Amino acid sequence: MSIKKQFVKTKPVCKVTFSVEAKQAASASVVGDFNSWNLAEGALSKLKNGTFKATFDLNKDASYEFKYVIDGQFINEPDADSFKWNDFAGAENSVLSI
């Protein structure tokens, strides 16, 4: 799993690429504050090597809670910027700081 941030000098956004290796999985998404936790909006594309990947434009100077959903199972990003407890889910969420 990994996150790559590419800042755009001419716009107040950062291109964030989420990628997660899940060779046996049928589907994967990234859901969070930036897409209202919507599976369809966070759908990741499966590459030939078994990695799921997508890039999203996110506003700069913000912090977002998120998780991956792989075949219906919620998973944190181990290399997230930080983690935050979520009482609603009863678990920690990954946090992305831009």
φ, ψ of residue 44 in degrees (nearest 5): -105, 145
Torsion sign, CA atoms 90, 79, 57, 25:
negative
Q: Which domain holds residue 79?
A: 2-97
pLDDT at 53 over 90: yes
Q: What is the pLDDT of residue 88?
A: 83
Quote the number of domains for the chain: 1
- CATH number of the CATH domain containing 9: 2.60.40.10
Q: What is the pLDDT of residue 89?
A: 78
Task: State mean pLDDT over 78-94.
Answer: 92
